[in-house]
Amino acid sequence: MGKIIAVCTSERKGMRKKNVGEGILKVGFGLEGDAHGGDWHRMVSLLAMESIKKMMDKGLKVGPGDFAENLTTEDLELFTLPVGTKLKIGETGIGEVTQIGKECHTKCAIFYQAGDCVMPKEGIFIRLLEGGVVRVGDSIEVMA
């Protein structure tokens, strides 16, 4: 079982997200108030703190939200979860993994600073099956 360590949103696409501490997961949209929300297969993005630490080890000053992820997790190796895996998020949220990684069409500032970026390889995307409130400190777990 993992833990949510940041709940992040941004007003516009193409910018780092800010940890807002809690949010509402809305079926058919994603994380309420986030620019990337919409009725598509990438409603919510997730990245593990362990992945972010790989970039920190390269000397970057980065943290939760800096890779434009909505939920930063800990103690769950997200990128190893197969597409179709269901995740219980907080008390009532349920998401289904729809994509592992993504293609970066434009290289971001992080790529130019480090020569690499972890989100395209280790970030995952989910669509929401059930909504609800998600908060820093909530559990996130793979459903059997």
Q: What is the SS3 assignment for 55?
A: helix
- Hey, where are the domains in the chain? 2-142
Which of 22, 13, 2 lies closest to 73 in space, CA to CA?
Answer: 2
Alpha carbon dihedral 76, 48, 37, 85, in 10-degree steps, equals -30
d(CA 57, CA 107) in angstroms, rounded, equals: 20
Burial 4-22 (b: 16+ CB within 10 A, else e): bbbbbbbeeeeebbeebee
Reported as a single tens digit per residue, the pLDDT across 27-66 is: 999 999 999 999 999 999 999 999 999 888 888 888 999 8
pTM, whole model, 2 decimals? 0.91
Residue partners of 13: CB distance under 8 A and separation at least 6: 35, 36
The percentage of residues in the chain with a pLDDT greater than 70, rounded to a whole number, is 86
Structure tokens at 115: 């020569």
Please state the φ and ψ torsions of residue 22, each to the nearest 5 degrees.
Answer: -160, 160
**Topology classification of domain 2-142:** M1 Pyruvate Kinase; Domain 3 (2.40.33)
- Give me the pLDDT at residue 67, please: 84
Reported as a single tens digit per residue, the pLDDT across 82-127 is: 999 999 999 999 999 999 986 665 655 555 554 556 676 899 999 9
